[in-house]
Amino acid sequence: MLETPRILHYECMSQGSSYPRDTHRDNVPGAANQQERLDAYLAGFVDGEGTFHVAVCRSASTRAGFQLVPEFHVSQNPERRQVLNLLEQRLGCGRIRENHRGSRDTTLVFVVRRRIDLLQQVIPFFEANPLLSSKQQEFVTFAGIVRAMAAGEPLSLSGFEALKARAVTVNGGGRYRRVHRG
């Protein structure tokens, strides 16, 4: 009788190592294995095409004159919409829309902005399925900001400024971010 092959797991890669450690485990049969594979695929897809972003927007209704708006989004060409559909189904939240309405750009974007969805769906998914690139650190920063917002930290001016300083570091160190001085 043939032995079931074993799958090499890449746990060490999310901890800074550049090669897989020999941590073989027995394969899990059936639906559990299929779900693990789908989750790994989606996490890898997001690693390449997704963004964990915290916008700093003007807001006359806040003490600081600005507010933080966290969002998770993944862009894709319309012919590959099925991957965005998979993300939406797997996470059970968010929506798919045109990325740049009214322009020639036809890309679609899957967006999650509701804080409760970020806290209960998106963040736990990526904690269970860590990214392998430097985007993992951006995710960790993003998750920390969203949790701090849920705990009420930006209600004080100093708390807001501290979170804003962290927010501008994600997505390439903030080099593509427009910062409004005011």
pLDDT digits (tens, 9 = 90+) for 13-32: 444 444 444 444 555 566 67
pLDDT by residue (tens digit) across 88-146? 999 999 999 998 777 788 899 999 999 999 999 999 999 999 999 999 999 999 999 99
Give the global pTM. 0.77
Q: What's the rounded Cα separation, in Å, for the pair 69 and 55?
A: 5
- Predicted confidence band of residue 169 (pLDDT cuts 50, 70, 90): confident
Phi, psi angles (nearest 5°) of residue 61: -90, 5
Tokens of 99: 């990325």
At a CB cut-off of 8 Å and minimum separation 6, what does 153 contact? 159, 160, 162, 163
Tokens coding 69: 């708006």
Phi, psi of 32 (to 5 degrees): -60, -45
Phi then psi for 27, rounded to 5 degrees?
A: -65, 145
* Domain 33-171 homologous superfamily, CATH: Homing endonucleases (3.10.28.10)
- Would you say 108 and 77 are in contact if contact means Cβ atoms under 8 Å apart? yes
Q: What would the two tokens of residue 162 be?
A: 């501290």
